Amino acid sequence: MASLDPEIAKTQEERKKMEQQLASLTSLTFDTDLYGGSDKDSYLTSIPANEDEENLDAIDNEVARKLASYTAPKSLLKEMPSGADSDADMGFRKPQRIIDREDDYRRRRLNQIISPERHDPFSAGEKTPDPSVRTYADVMREEALKREKEETLKAIAKKKKEEEEAAKAAPPQQQQKRRNRWDQSQDDGGAAAAAPKKAKTSDWDMPDTTPGRWDATPTPGRVTDATPGRRNRWDETPTPGRIVDSDATPTGGATPGATPAGMTWDATPKLAGMATPTPKRQRSRWDETPATMGSATPLPGATPAAAYTPGVTPVGGVELATPTPGALHGSITPEQYNLLRWERDIEERNRPLTDEELDAMFPQEGYKILEPPASYVPIRTPARKLLATPTPLGTPLYQIPEENRGQQFDVPKEAPGGLPFMKPEDYQYFGALLNEENEEELSPDEQKERKIMKLLLKVKNGTPPQRKTALRQLTDKAREFGAGPLFNRILPLLMQPTLEDQERHLLVKVIDRVLYKLDELVRPYVHKILVVIEPLLIDEDYYARVEGREIISNLSKAAGLATMIAAMRPDIDNIDEYVRNTTARAFSVVASALGIPALLPFLKAVCQSKKSWQARHTGIKIVQQIAILIGCAVLPHLRSLVEIIEHGLNDENQKVRTITALSLAALAEAAAPYGIESFDSVLKPLWKGIRQHRGKVLAAFLKAIGFIIPLMEALYASYYTKEVMLILIREFQSPDEEMKKIVLKVVKQCVSTEGVEADYIRNDILPEFFRNFWVRRMALDRRNYKQLVETTVEIANKVGVADIVGRIVEDLKDESEPYRRMVMETIEKVVTNLGASDIDARLEELLIDGILYAFQEQTSDDANVMLNGFGAVVNSLGQRVKPYLPQICGTIKWRLNNKSAKVRQQAADLISRIAVVMKQCHEEQLMGHLGVVLYEYLGEEYPEVLGSILGALKSIVNVIGMTKMTPPIKDLLPRLTPILKNRHEKVQENCIDLVGRIADRGAEFVPAREWMRICFELLEMLKAHKKGIRRATVNTFGYIAKAIGPQDVLATLLNNLKVQERQNRVCTTVAIAIVAETCSPFTVLPALMNEYRVPELNVQNGVLKSLSFLFEYIGEMGKDYIYAVTPLLEDALMDRDLVHRQTAASAVKHMALGVAGLGCEDALIHLLNYVWPNIFETSPHVINAVMEAIEGMRVALGAAIVLNYCLQGLFHPARKVREVYWKIYNSLYIGAQDALVAAYPALEDEHHNVYSRPELMMFI
């Protein structure tokens, strides 16, 4: 690094010189002009996206994105990228491990410690807490200690760095060679050297020296070389050479094993005595070393120091020399196990080829085996050797391996007692269950533990029924088990690194249920639970976030506000940003669960904390999260929330200022469109702030302003917009992506506000806006692209079409295709919104010209932007497009003949878009011509294209009509018949639509025989998956029947009732009903009723179903047919077959509803008498149909008659009977309560109870 530094410095110097020269060449000193005299160096060239500090990081942007996403639920949007997953496509989703999809930040959850339980002052009453329990004071003291330690370490590091730099400055080329290690390429060295440079440039990190670096526990090896630049080396996946490395540097003087003092870092001593085998205390870097190092996690019971020694003294290698996963000591952690498994795999595949293998691979002659060059030295990787051979050093003599009868040989032990299968990772937690000790010998506590473990294992890995019962037992016995034993078992499982989504979901569910039962008993465990649950709040899975919220909300209801605050207060100014972030989110959940007012005093205190900026930052962030979480429900507390955080705008710490502005933005967004008066007090600091700040803070301030302006009244909005616009216009030039997005968003918000005048926008904003944003580069990033289009459309809504389109129309001929696409999309949206009446003749010409160019030059258009744009412009221009139509059609024709299927499809699609406009322009001849061309392309082999061609034909037929169509219908239809056989969905849909259209409007042009042929084809189409196709088919049957008479069609359909597939039969019955409707029932009923005589279940049911649909469709017309079909229904209602009765009942229902009030009561009562005995049916579909039939009767006959049927059973001695009758009575009552009054029976009075209704006896 020392050698590289001067080089880099020199290059930079040179570059700077060149830049200066360039700047002097361009005569304008634009920088000072635009940046108001400030020097540009104070600008950042970029805002780091994944800095450890939140603000604009992925999760917060979620908020920003949420604003723009009125399109679909976030869960859906999130789903989309994973939709392409091939496994998911096949319907077999592999179980996913959570850790695999987590980023580094989220993985920091594993660094957290499940803290021991705390003192519960509520249950203890006045007693002084036992010194052994952790009280609030203890925790706070620890936190303070930790912070102090951090400070000290920082100071040390700083000093060290200074010293080093000083040393570097003196002998610049001292240790050049030392860094050239075999495992580190030169590039690495370069990168490492560049890293600190970069860190230095981002100067807004200065107040807080990247906590990420320091919060990891320093491991003994690191103390020696703690320069930031080298840190990378320790983060890398461990290379086996490392051990040598740390041994070989004598500078440290202290080999890790020899410094037991170093061990104290690793595990907090307090935890060592705890019974729970938490898998991870602090996850130190040493944990990630391969298993060859010996285990870094302390063996249960062993002191940490003892655990370390084997790692360093090479003898320890023997212990794990043969990595048999079956040999499951308690000490092997899941990651180690995974690592081992993985390493074994790699070793196996990467093992060197033997000479024999090489001989087998290569031909015998023509090759020569060369001597290895003299300089060749085989790679010395002792660690790898360690894996391969059991005795790494010392005597390579043969040792008799010790026989181990208990060895598992990769076969997991059968779990006793019907327990579910255990994964290797589970042994650590559930291993005890495999010891077949006698249950009676265990102490009651141990028995309880075992019981909990068994239940948990069943929940985690069991079959659904097992899981269900286990979950229920856990819930029922929760209080019996006690909070301690339960959480001590559950929570470590949740921290297991190999956890899968499903498992986590189940365990979280357990916690939820248990919480509910334990209630106030959870108090000592609140923090423990939070540590495990908080990470869920930032999970990328929506459902995990919801689950996390639910748990925390339940937890706060169970434990109470005081306990929650006591548990989380220490985390508020934790040194780890991750902890603060999750705590803030958790706090917002607590606020929504217990009410904001309860939390306000605490929040106020936190936000004004003098002790640390972290506390203030977190407090303000809590407010932000509250706003995001509960939305418009903040309104009642808006003023107090703003007051709590407003001082943060002037905070001395930059991060606090930033988060305050972001919180204000979130509050304003949540409150929209109300609540501007609450923001009065922050307006001034905000507007002052945008003049003072730069970079990230400015971005946050602008965001806040962007959200506040839309709340204002028109007058103020216009004033403030003008104020902020100066800054915005200055920031138009910012090279930073994040700033660009925010600026665009704010412009959009300002422009859409009422008070902002079009003239102002036109004169003051547009020129700069277009100069800076309408550049090719913006089209490359998807989010920029979207934001720019949205903002431009919003501006267009104010200033009109002509201004915007006039500015960008030339760009339709730009050479960059993404850019052209962006232009086209904008034009499309603007023109669709506002129409084309503003566009003058010249612009119109340019526009069509540009669109034609862009359309023809496109190479790929998956999103159909060009097509949609073309369609939108042509449709909005309407008749004005006439002069260009020949040219457009020429293009289309040419493209229809293109080699690429996509192009042909698009051309056909374009025809269907513009057909209506062509008609408006009276270009029928042209359309006829296009029809012929399309007709010629019906032989198309790509189904997608064929579908589009059919669609285009359909649109032409629709607008020019059957008679004028060329080719004539009688030629066209026979050509379509074979296409009906095509099984492709798009083809089917378009084809059936076209055929249906012809059958509807132009059936007379086609001979009846052709129609019959089509009927047969149509039957096949009833099998289609898409409902639209089936519906179109069924309707087409109706049209055809109308055209050629029902007889033949009906015969075909009735025959089809005999087929097997249910869907086919159902569709056939619908078709019969439709035919009956279109051709009058009397043409169909005789044949249909005759068909009922076929002694075949399916046919009879089909007939009944047809009748049901038929009466549904014909409605009142049914009164002429009811007497005709009554005998048939009588028979069906008495049939033994349930389905007969069910279908007949539904036919009766439709019939009754259709003829209500038309004087068919006699027939209906007759039918009711047949329906009534079915009320005791239990099959759900049957009883449903019967009940509906009775409801229908209520409508047709009146409630009184049905009530009389009811009365006989309401007080029947048999309960089963009563239940049914009351059910009928109730639906009667709900349906026609008032009508019943006149029909209630006269009850006799009893003793002193009067039941009679004398009023009804009154008579004048």
Partner 1 sequence: MQASDRFNINSQLEHLQAKYVGTGHADLNRFEWAVNIQRDSYASYIGHYPLLAYFSIAENESIGREHYTFMQKMLLPCGLPPEREED
Both structure tokens of 683: 């307006």
Give the binding range for partner 1 (CB under 8 A) out of 530-538, 627-635, 1145-1153, 1240-1248. 1240-1248
Select the residue interacting with partner 1 from 169, 377, 397, 1260 (CB under 8 A): 1260
Q: Does 1243 bind partner 1 (CB under 8 A)?
A: yes
**Sequence-separated (6 or more) residues with CB below 8 Å from residue 929:** 889, 966
Q: Does 1248 bind partner 1 (CB under 8 A)?
A: yes
3-state SS string for 626-662: HHHHHHHHHHHHHHHHHHHHHHHHHCCCHHHHHHHHH
Q: Does 1223 bind partner 1 (CB under 8 A)?
A: yes
Query: Which residue, 1136 or 1215, has its beta carbon nearer to partner 1?
Result: 1215
Select the residue interacting with partner 1 from 714, 1097, 1134, 1256 (CB under 8 A): 1256
Q: Does 1211 bind partner 1 (CB under 8 A)?
A: yes
Query: Which residue, 393 or 1256, has its beta carbon nearer to partner 1?
Result: 1256
Q: Does 1218 bind partner 1 (CB under 8 A)?
A: yes
Give the binding range for partner 1 (CB under 8 A) out of 328-336, 706-714, 830-838, 1208-1216. 1208-1216
Q: Does 1253 bind partner 1 (CB under 8 A)?
A: yes
Q: Does 715 bind partner 1 (CB under 8 A)?
A: no
Nearest to 698 by CA among 726, 661, 748: 661
Written as one letter, the residue type at 544 is A
As measured in angstroms, the least distance from the Cβ of 1230 to partner 1 is 6
Which residues in 610-669 contact partner 1 (CB under 8 A)?
none
The answer to whether the beta carbons of residues 1151 and 1111 sit under 8 Å apart is: yes
What is the C-alpha to C-alpha distance for residues 684 and 708, in angstroms, rounded to an integer? Answer: 12
Nearest to 1021 by CA among 1011, 1032, 1010: 1032
Query: Which residue, 452 or 1187, has its beta carbon nearer to partner 1?
Result: 1187
Which residues in 904-933 contact partner 1 (CB under 8 A)?
none
Q: Does 464 bind partner 1 (CB under 8 A)?
A: no
DSSP 540: S
As measured in angstroms, the least distance from the Cβ of 1190 to partner 1 is 13
Give the binding range for partner 1 (CB under 8 A) out of 736-744, 815-823, 825-833, 1209-1217. 1209-1217
Give the binding range for partner 1 (CB under 8 A) out of 37-45, 332-340, 802-810, 1227-1235. 1227-1235
Query: Which residue, 358 or 1250, has its beta carbon nearer to partner 1?
Result: 1250
As measured in angstroms, the least distance from the Cβ of 1229 to partner 1 is 6
As measured in angstroms, the least distance from the Cβ of 1199 to partner 1 is 12
Q: Does 1247 bind partner 1 (CB under 8 A)?
A: yes
As measured in angstroms, the least distance from the Cβ of 1162 to partner 1 is 29
C-alpha to C-alpha distances, 804 to 184, 405, 800, 878, nearest whole angstrom = 55, 83, 7, 20
Give the binding range for partner 1 (CB under 8 A) out of 259-267, 1097-1105, 1158-1166, 1215-1223. 1215-1223
Written as one letter, the residue type at 346 is I
The answer to whether the beta carbons of residues 500 and 95 sit under 8 Å apart is: yes
Q: Does 1229 bind partner 1 (CB under 8 A)?
A: yes
Query: Which residue, 301 or 1180, has its beta carbon nearer to partner 1?
Result: 1180
What is the C-alpha to C-alpha distance for residues 1124 and 755, in angstroms, rounded to an integer? Answer: 72
Looking up tokens 């090759």, which residue turns up?
367
What is the C-alpha to C-alpha distance for residues 122 and 144, in angstroms, rounded to an integer? Answer: 25
Query: Which residue, 543 or 1251, has its beta carbon nearer to partner 1?
Result: 1251
As measured in angstroms, the least distance from the Cβ of 1221 to partner 1 is 8
Is the omega angle on the peptide bond into residue 673 within 30 degrees of 0, that is, cis? yes
Query: Which residue, 1169 or 1204, has its beta carbon nearer to partner 1?
Result: 1204
Is the omega angle on the peptide bond into residue 131 within 30 degrees of 0, that is, cis? no
Looking up tokens 């196996």, which residue turns up?
348
DSSP per-residue codes, 999-1046: HHHHGGGS-HHHHHHHHHHHHHHTT-SSHHHHHHHHHHHHHHHHHH-H
Query: Which residue, 1022 or 1189, has its beta carbon nearer to partner 1?
Result: 1189
Select the residue interacting with partner 1 from 34, 68, 77, 1236 (CB under 8 A): 1236
The answer to whether the beta carbons of residues 1197 and 1164 sit under 8 Å apart is: yes
DSSP 401: P
* Binding residues for partner 1, total number by CB under 8 A: 35
From residue 1165 to residue 1204, what is the string marking binding to partner 1 with x (rule CB under 8 A)?
A: -------------x-x--xx--x-----------------
C-alpha to C-alpha distances, 699 to 626, 692, 741, 746, 1183, nearest whole angstrom = 21, 12, 9, 10, 65
C-alpha to C-alpha distances, 897 to 231, 936, 939, 942, 976, nearest whole angstrom = 62, 11, 13, 13, 21
The answer to whether the beta carbons of residues 529 and 556 sit under 8 Å apart is: no
From residue 1120 to residue 1159, what is the string marking binding to partner 1 with x (rule CB under 8 A)?
A: ----------------------------------------
DSSP 500: B
Query: Which residue, 963 or 1226, has its beta carbon nearer to partner 1?
Result: 1226
As measured in angstroms, the least distance from the Cβ of 1192 to partner 1 is 16
Written as one letter, the residue type at 174 is Q
Q: Does 1058 bind partner 1 (CB under 8 A)?
A: no
Q: Does 94 bind partner 1 (CB under 8 A)?
A: no
Give the binding range for partner 1 (CB under 8 A) out of 217-225, 488-496, 1127-1135, 1252-1260. 1252-1260
Q: Does 1210 bind partner 1 (CB under 8 A)?
A: yes
Q: Count CB-CB contacts under 10 A for residue 631.
A: 15
Select the residue interacting with partner 1 from 770, 937, 1011, 1225 (CB under 8 A): 1225
Both structure tokens of 815: 């050479």
Both structure tokens of 219: 């491991």
Give the binding range for partner 1 (CB under 8 A) out of 642-650, 686-694, 836-844, 1249-1257. 1249-1257
Query: Which residue, 619 or 1209, has its beta carbon nearer to partner 1?
Result: 1209
As measured in angstroms, the least distance from the Cβ of 1250 to partner 1 is 6
Cα angle 1046, 1051, 1056 (rounded to 5 degrees) comes to 125
DSSP per-residue codes, 839-884: --HHHHHHHHHHHHHHHHH-S--TT-HHHHHHHHHHHHHGGGGGGG
Query: Which residue, 374 or 1214, has its beta carbon nearer to partner 1?
Result: 1214
What is the C-alpha to C-alpha distance for residues 584 and 574, in angstroms, rounded to an integer? Answer: 11
Adjacent-strand bridge partners of 97: 500
Which residues of this chain interact with partner 1, rule CB under 8 A?
1178, 1180, 1183-1184, 1187, 1210-1211, 1215, 1218-1219, 1222-1223, 1225-1227, 1229-1230, 1233-1234, 1236-1237, 1240, 1243, 1246-1251, 1253, 1255-1256, 1258-1260
